[in-house]
Chains A and B, each alone.
Chain A
Amino acid sequence: MTSSMLFNATTIAYMASMVVFFAFLATRNKAVGLTGSLLAYAGFAAQTLAIALRWKESYDIGYGHAPLSNLYESVVFFSWTIILIYMFIELKYKYRIVGAFVVPFAFLGMSWAQLGMQSGIEPLVPALQSNWLLYHVITCFLGYAAFAVACGISIMYLVKARSEEGGGGAAGGLMSMFPPIRVLDDLNYRAIMIGFPLLTLGIITGAAWANYAWGTYWSWDPKETWSLIVWFIYAAFLHARFTRGWVGKRAAWLSIIGFAATIFCYLGVNLFLSGLHSYGSSKM
C-alpha cells in the first residue's frame, strides 16, 4: 500500500461523505446523516495513515522530512485539519448537519491536490530544514481550518436567517434540520475562538523561526502582512461581539470575509504576490 493510493481513497471518502450529507439535507433521515459522518471519519482515518506513510516514504527516499513542505502537501494537510476541527465541533456540540457545509471544503482541497498538483516528494531547501517548520505549519493550518468551519457555519446562518425572514414556509422542512440561528451564531463564535489563538501561535512561531533563520522576526513580507490582516479581521470580529448590532448577520459576513482573507493569505499570496513563502521553489 502506498500513500498515494490512500490519498485517493481519502478523496473518494470525502466525496461520498459530501454526497451523503446532501442526501441527508434532502431526506432528513438520521441514518443517512450518521453515514455521512462515518464516511468523513473513515476518510480522516485513511488520510491520517496516508500522511504518516508519506512521511515514512520521504525517509525511505533519503530526503527525510515531514509532509508539509510544498503546496500539494499543505493542501492535503489543510483538508485533514478541516475534518479534524469539524469532528471536534460535531462530537462536542452534536450538530451533524454542519458537515454538509464543512466536508465540501475538505473534498475541494483533496480533489484539487490530487488532480491539479505535482505530488512528488521533494527534498527540503536549507531554509525549510528546521523543526520550526512543523510548529509553524501545524498551528497555522489548524487555525485556518477552524476559520473554514466558522465560514461553513456562517453560510448556514445566512441561509437559515434568510429563510426565516421569508416566512420559512417553503424551505421550512429543510431548515428545521439546521440548528437555531442563535446556536449557529454561537458556534461561529466558538470556532473562531479556537482559530484565533491558533493563528496567533502560528504567527508567533513563524516570527520566531524567521528570527532564528534570518535575524528578523518581522519583515512585512506579503505573507506575514496578510496573516496580520487576517488576525486584524478576527480581532475585529471578537471585539464586534461586545458591541450591539455586530452579532448575527454582520458577524456571519465578517466570518466569511475573514475566511476569504485567510484563503488569500494561504493561496493568493503565493499565486499573485511574491515573497518568502513560495512553496517548493528553490529559494533560500
Chain B
Amino acid sequence: MATTDRSFVQSLWDFFCSLKLTIFLLISLALTSIIGTILPQGKLPPEYVAEISPMKFQIYSKLGFFDMYHSWWFILLLYVFSLNLVCCSIKRLPHVFKFISEPTLVLGESLRKGFSLKQELGFSASLDKGREALVEFLAKEFAAPVVTEQDGEYHLFAQKSAWCRLGVYVVHLSILIIFIGAILGSLFGYKGFAAIVEGTSVSSIQAHNGADIPLGFEVRCEKFNVSFYDSGAPKEFKSILTVLENGQPVKGLTNVRVVVNEPLTYKGFTFYQSSYGQASESSDHSFTVQSASGAPVGQFTLREGQTTTLKDGTTFKLLETTGDISQFMPNFSGPAARVEVTPKGKTAQTFIVFKNYPDANAQRGDALQFVYEGSNAKMYTGLQVAKDPGVWVVWLGCALMVCGLFIAFFMSHKRVWIVVSKGYARMYGNASKNQAAFQMQFEELSDKLKNLKI
C-alpha cells in the first residue's frame, strides 16, 4: 500500500513538474482566451441576446463564456499554470544552485573530449612557474581562477556570470508576483465612478456593482471644460478639482487640473477624467429670433419642455438640448437645441438649431430664424475612480520579468578551464548560451595564450 501511495504522489509530482504540461497549459490558455474576444463579455447587448438561440445562450451561460476570464475553469487553468511553474522551478532549482555553487573544478579525461573550444600551449618552465603565469593570465584576461591539484596536474577553473542561469527562474517568480498583485487588487481594491456637477462635491463613489463606497474625504469640481479641434474631434476634457478634508481644501490639492492621462491621486484613490455631460436640470436656454431679412424680432429664455408664444402668434417649444451635438450629428459640434415651431394657423415643424452654425439656421429659409445662444447649464465631469493596493506588486513583478528575460536571453554563463601539465597547458571553454559569440571571445583568449612566454 505504502508503495502505491508513494508512487501516486510521485507520479502526481512528476505530472506537475512536466514541461509537456507547461506547453499544454500555454496553448490551452491561448486557445480558450480567444472565446472571450469573440463573444461579448459582461453586460450583454440586447441585440446580441435577441440574435442567438435560447439553447446556445443557456450553454454559453453555463460554461461561463460571458464572463469567461472569471469563470471557474479559466481561473483553474491559471492556478494549475502557477502550480506547474512552482513545481518546475522547485524541481530544477537545487540542480542549478549546485551547478553554480559546486562547479566542475577538475576536468577529467572523458570530459575534455566533449569540448569544441580548446587551445594548447607548450612551455619550458617548471610546472609551478607555468601555473603561476597562467593563473595571472586568466585573472587578467577573463576571471580569477580556482586552482585544484590532482594527479600531478593543476586544474585552473574560471567562470563569469554563473548566476545568469537563474534568469529563467526570475521570470517564473515574476509571473507569480504579478498574480499575487492581481489577487491583492481584486480583494482590497475598488473600481467606481463619480459624476460631479460643477460647483458641487461628492464624498462617495459608486462601485460598478452599484454599492456606494465612502471616500473619507470630499472632491469638489470647481469647473469643467471641453475643447475641440476645428474638425470637431475632441481635443481636451479638463476638470478643475479640489480635495476637501472636513470641508477645508487640502493644501496642494486645490484647483488641480485633471485631464485624460493626467489623473489625481489622494489617499490611495485615483480619479481619472473619463466622460462629461450637461447637468440639464433647471437650466435656462437663450434664443434670439430674427426675420428672414435679418431684422431682430426678439429674445427669450426657456427651459426644456417649456413653450412660449411670439408676438405674431407663433408658438415655440424647446424640446431638448445638448451641450455637444457631435455625438448625434458627427459633422457638427457644440451646443444645439431641438425645437418645435408652430406658426399661427399652420402645422408644427420640428428642427435643430445650432449655437456654432448660425448660417445653418438661416438656410432653412423660414420667415422666422431661430438662433440658439446657449444655456447657463452647468457641466458635470465623469470620473473613473480606482483604488488598487496591488498595483505596485504588479509593477514589481513586471520589472522583475523584464530583468529576468534579459538575463535569460542575453546573458550567458561562460567557463574556462586550463589543465597545466609538465611542459604544456590545455585550455577549454564553453558557454551556456550564444556559443558563437563566446567562440570569438575564446579565440581572442587563445591568441593571447599562444603569445604567452613562460
Q: Chain A residues in contact with chain B, CB under 8 A?
A: 122-123, 125-127, 129-130, 132, 193, 196-197, 200-201, 204, 207-208, 211-218, 220, 222, 225-226, 228-229, 232-233, 235-236, 239-240, 242-243, 246, 261, 269, 273, 282, 284
Contact = CB atoms under 8 A, between A and B. Distances in A.
B402 A197 contact: yes
Interface stretch (B53-61, B124-132, B152-160, B256-264): B256-264
A232 B23 contact: no
Interface SS of A by simple majority = helix
Given A127-B260, A197-B405, A225-B36, 12 more contacts: A123-B231, A126-B234, A126-B236, A132-B261, A200-B405, A211-B391, A213-B260, A232-B26, A240-B23, A242-B19, A243-B19, A273-B38
B384 interface: yes
Nearest to A205: B398
Contact of A200 (B41, B191, B386, B401): B401
B237 interface: yes
Contacts, number: 117
Contacts of B38: 273
B405 A220 contact: no
B248 interface: no
A275 to B, nearest CB: 8
B23 A126 contact: no
A201 B401 CA distance: 9
A200 B233 CA distance: 33
Nearest to B437: A92
B211 to A, nearest CB: 17
Interface residues on B, range: 35 or more
A96 B414 CA distance: 30
Interface stretch (B9-17, B27-35, B141-149, B369-377): B27-35
Nearest to A224: B37
Query: Which 3 residue pairs spanning A and B have beta carbons closest together?
Result: A215-B386, A126-B260, A232-B30
Contacts of A273: 37-38
A209 to B, nearest CB: 8
Given A123-B229, A284-B260, A215 B19 contact: no
A126 B406 contact: no
A126 B259 contact: yes
A140 to B, nearest CB: 14
B274 interface: yes
Nearest to A192: B409
B20 interface: yes
A215 B388 contact: yes
Given A126-B260, A229-B33, A273-B38, A204 B20 contact: no
Interface in B247-271: 259-261, 263, 270
A236 B23 contact: yes
A200 B27 CA distance: 17
B274 A284 contact: yes
Contact of A213 (B26, B69, B261, B385): B261
Contacts of B315: none
A237 to B, nearest CB: 9
